[in-house]
């Protein structure tokens, strides 16, 4: 294959589609999937991923902000689009113009959205995450909803703080809180046709004790669409579905060289060769999203074997130790995320090495890394 980029990611359309179907098969028949494609679909490409999901039957997408929603509309996507991350005052006009569905996080949001247009809105109830979400009482919410002149409450939702953690009662508490809130609204005759709570971990490790669950008719997976579910904590059930990573990341070898024992490598001379070593310099650095925390602790795959990162990760370059790996040449490529034969390295492995989460590893992949799609 001709070399086309010094560093590139390849996204498998089939893997995204298969992950979507795996999630679908794990949820009840009447439940639909909101494909979460915020942050450029965790760097997998929001437009392309949305097209794949819609071709698989998804009727809903979710983005973080109005700008992301507008970009999907500009690419001709016609699915419903839920905007999760709040609406700024200057973005209000775009909601109606681009047929975006806002999430209301406060009574003030309800009032602002009502003034714009006859919008469908989703109410996000804060049940314990204490990030965005309505923290007013059900009575106050009911009064505000009754005062709406144009807007309609189409959905009611919440978000878990510790979905995969079975060592705490937080999710059970949040479900109880959500049940109580919905019941109180129902007493005021406020019932939303759409009810949703679960992101990837909560779909993979479902809780079964809730009066709300029969009413839930949407789920909001993000990371699972891309092939990851964070390992749960505590006494968790087995995952309800299996997915596989959709993205591989490669970078070209720029140079291969031998260094004598005692040579130091990279900024700060944080690595000293204990013996004569063969090193390779590869065309990716922290500007591309290689975590600086992988300095002297990460690895890549070169010719089917792990090759440790030596010295500090720098802005545009990483040095790896390829002693004992035969025939590696400038122009060859190494794998930063993906597999070669039996040897594999995924975003979860890398996250564990640097003490972060796979979301962070994927979202950090920079714009200089070219993106390609394969079927
Ligand atoms: C990001 C997000 C999701 C998707 O979360 P994953 O853990 O990636 O599945 C779902 N709901 C909300 C409100 C989010 O912000």
Between 161 and 211, whose confidence is greater?
161
pLDDT for residue 215: 82
Average of per-residue pLDDT across 207-231: 85
- pLDDT of the residue at 279: 98
CA of 79 to the centre of ligand 1 (A): 18
Model confidence at 207: pLDDT above 90: no
Residue 213 in this model has a pLDDT that exceeds 80: no
Ligand 1 within 6 A of CB of 138: no
Specify the residue with its C-alpha closest to ligand 1, atom 6. 222
- pLDDT band at residue 22, thresholds of 50, 70 and 90? very high
Query: Which atom of ligand 1 is nearest the CA belonging to 220?
Result: 10
Q: What is the CA radius of gyration of the chain?
A: 24
- pLDDT-based confidence at residue 231 (cuts at 50, 70, 90): very high
Q: Is the pLDDT of residue 209 over 70?
A: no
131-186 pLDDT, tens digit each: 999 999 999 999 999 999 999 999 999 999 999 999 999 999 999 999 999 999 99
Residue 325, CB-side half-sphere exposure with 13 Å CA sphere: 24
Please say if the pLDDT value at position 106 is more than 90. Answer: yes
Query: Does residue 162 line the site of ligand 1, with CB under 6 A?
Result: no
Distance CA 61, CA 70 (A): 12
> Which residue CA neighbors atom 4 of ligand 1 most closely?
222
pLDDT at site 1? 44
Q: Which of 157, 165, 169 is nearest to 133 (CA)?
A: 157
pLDDT at residue 2, rounded to an integer:
46
Q: Is the pLDDT of residue 229 over 50?
A: yes
Looking at the chain, the whole-number percentage of residues with pLDDT higher than 90 is 92
Tokens, residue 212:
């709300």
Query: Could you identify the residue written with the tokens 């390829």?
Result: 322
pLDDT of residue 3 exceeding 60, the answer is no
Residue 36 Cβ inside 6 Å of ligand 1? The answer reads yes
Cβ(14)–Cβ(52) below 8 Å: no
Cα separation, 157 vs 137, whole angstroms: 15
The catalytic position among 38, 124, 250, 278 is: 38
Beta bridge partners of 318: 282
Query: Is any atom of ligand 1 closer than 6 Å to the C-beta of 196?
Result: no
Instruction: Please state the rounded mean pLDDT for residues 44-52.
Output: 98
Mean pLDDT of 306-318: 98
Whether residue 211 has pLDDT greater than 80: no
DSSP state letter for 131: S
Query: Tell me: the pLDDT tens digits for 238-274?
Result: 999 999 999 999 999 999 999 999 999 999 999 999 9
pLDDT score, position 88: 97
Q: Is residue 223 lining ligand 1, measured as CB closer than 6 Å?
A: yes
pLDDT at 351: 98
Looking at every residue in the chain, the average pLDDT score rounds to: 95
| pLDDT given for residue 280 in this prediction | 98
Per-residue confidence band for 4, with pLDDT thresholds at 50, 70 and 90: confident
Q: Tell me the CA–centroid distance for residue 102 and ligand 1, in Å.
A: 15
Q: CA-CA distance, 26 to 52, in Å (whole number)?
A: 19
Q: How far, in Å, CA of 357 to CA of 20, rounded? A: 21
């Amino acid at each position: 294959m001709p070399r086309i980029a010094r560093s590139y990611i390849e996204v498998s359309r089939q893997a995204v589609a298969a992950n979507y179907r795996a999630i679908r098969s794990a949820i009840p028949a009447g439940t639909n999937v909101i494909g979460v494609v915020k942050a450029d679909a965790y760097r997998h490409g929001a437009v392309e991923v949305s097209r794949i999901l819609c071709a698989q039957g998804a009727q809903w997408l979710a983005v973080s902000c109005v700008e992301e929603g507008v970009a999907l509309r500009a690419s001709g996507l016609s699915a419903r689009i839920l905007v999760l991350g709040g609406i700024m005052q200057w973005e209000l006009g775009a909601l109606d113009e681009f047929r975006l569905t806002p999430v209301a996080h406060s009574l003030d949001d309800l009032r602002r959205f009502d003034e714009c247009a006859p919008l469908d809105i989703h109410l996000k109830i804060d049940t314990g995450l204490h990030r965005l979400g309505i923290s007013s009482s059900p009575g106050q919410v009911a009064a505000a909803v009754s005062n709406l002149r144009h807007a309609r409450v189409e959905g009611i939702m919440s978000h878990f703080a510790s979905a995969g953690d079975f060592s705490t009662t937080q999710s059970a508490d949040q479900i109880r809180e959500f049940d109580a809130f919905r019941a109180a609204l129902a007493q005021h005759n406020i019932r939303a046709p759409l009810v949703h709570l679960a992101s990837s971990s909560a779909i993979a490790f479902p809780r079964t004790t809730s009066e709300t669950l029969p009413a839930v008719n949407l789920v909001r997976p993000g990371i699972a669409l891309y092939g990851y579910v964070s390992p749960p904590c505590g006494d968790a059930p087995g995952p309800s579905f299996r997915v596989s990573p959709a993205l591989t990341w490669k970078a070209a070898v720029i140079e291969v060289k031998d260094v004598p024992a005692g040579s130091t490598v990279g900024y700060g001379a944080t690595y000293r060769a204990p013996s004569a070593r063969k090193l390779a310099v590869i065309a990716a650095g922290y500007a591309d999203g290689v975590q600086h925390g992988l300095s002297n602790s990460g690895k890549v795959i070169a010719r089917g074997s792990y090759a440790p990162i030596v010295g500090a990760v720098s802005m545009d370059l990483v040095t790896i130790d390829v002693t004992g790996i035969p025939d590696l040449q400038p122009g060859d490529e190494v794998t930063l995320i993906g597999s070669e034969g039996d040897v594999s390295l995924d975003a979860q492995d890398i996250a564990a090495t640097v003490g972060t989460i796979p979301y962070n590893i994927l979202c950090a992949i920079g714009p200089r890394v070219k993106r390609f799609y394969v079927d």
